[in-house]
Structure 1
Amino acid sequence: MQRVSKFFREIAREMRKVSWPRRAELTRYTITVITTVAIFAVFFAGIDLGISKLIRLILE
């Protein structure tokens, strides 16, 4: 049990050393991630639609 409590104390000590982003940085990073994911989603949806139509043309 002592090893477990020591482990969690060490975690708390290390977490205090972490450099957390400020609110403005966090907002900018979040917007960047959401925008990137949206762009990739649209891109792959377009690729998927194009390939699907191509396969339908070939099989008909």
Structure 2
Amino acid sequence: MAFISKLKQGFGSTFSFFADCWAEMKKVKWPARKELISYTIVVVSTVIFVTVYFAILDLGISELLKIAFE
């Protein structure tokens, strides 16, 4: 019986955890559609910028290494 008691205790704390998570999620102020679109545009443009920057940097370093070791 001690095992079943421990098992109930373990699942009780798991259910309690998810109940607490749900209560916290209700407190979150979710962005409006317009805000979400603008945030998405900022993130995507930043990712594109950083990708292009590192691609150019990589190509430059590759060319320098080709010149140096040929």
Same fold by TM-score greater than 0.5:
yes
Superposed CA RMSD: 0.8
**Aligned residues, how many?**
60
Determine the C-alpha separation between the residues in 2 that align with 1:9 and 1:38. Answer: 39
Shift of 1:36: 0.3
Shift of 1:4: 1.7
Larger gyration radius, structure 1 or structure 2? 2
1:17-60 per-residue CA deviation (whole Å, 9 max, x = no partner) reads 00111111111001100000000100110000000000000111
Shift of 1:7: 1.4
> Is the counterpart of residue 49 in structure 1 residue 28 in structure 2?
no
Gaps of 5+ in 1: none
Which residue, 24, 31, 44 being the options, matches 1:21?
31
> Is the counterpart of residue 2 in structure 1 residue 45 in structure 2?
no
Gaps of 5+ in 2: 1-10
